[in-house]
Structure 1
Amino acid sequence: MSASRHRRVAVLVLDGAKPLDVGIPAQVFSTRPSMPYEVRVCGVRPGPITGGDGLSYHVAHGLEALTWADIVFVPGYRRPDQEVPPASVLDALRAAHDRGARLAAISTGAFALAATGLLDGRRATTHWHYTRALATKYPRIKVDENVLFVDEKTVLTSAGAASGIDLCLHVLRSDLGVAASNHTARRLVAAPYRSGGQAQYVPRSVPQARGEQFAATREWALHHLGDDLTLDRLAANAKVSARTFSRRFLEETGYTPMQWVLRARVDLARELLERSERGIEQIAADVGLGTGTNLRLHFRQILGTTPSEYRRTFKT
Structure 2
Amino acid sequence: MPEDGSTEVHIATKRIVDEFRQRGALTPESVVSAGFGQWDRVVPSWLILSALMSVVRARGEKGRSAAAQVPVDLTKTGLSHDEAALVVASLLGDVAGAWDVQARGLLTLQSMLGLFCAMADEDSLSPQQLDDLYEIGEEICRETVRSGDRIRPPVRGVEMGPWDASEEAAPRLDRVDLGGLRVPSSDGFELQPMYAGESILAVTVIQGPTAIQLQAFRSERAGSWEGIRQELLNRIRLLGGSASEWFGPVGVEIRAEVPVTDPAGRPARRRIKILGCDGPRWTLRGFVSGLGGEPDSTDDWAYETFTETVVVPDVWDGRDTTIALRWPQAERQ
**Higher normalized strand content (fraction of residues):** 2
- Bigger Rg, structure 1 or 2: 2
- Whether these two folds match at TM > 0.5 is no
* TM-score normalised per structure 2: 0.27
Asked which structure has the greater RCO (Cα within 8 Å, sep 6+), the reply is 2
* TM-score normalised per structure 1: 0.28
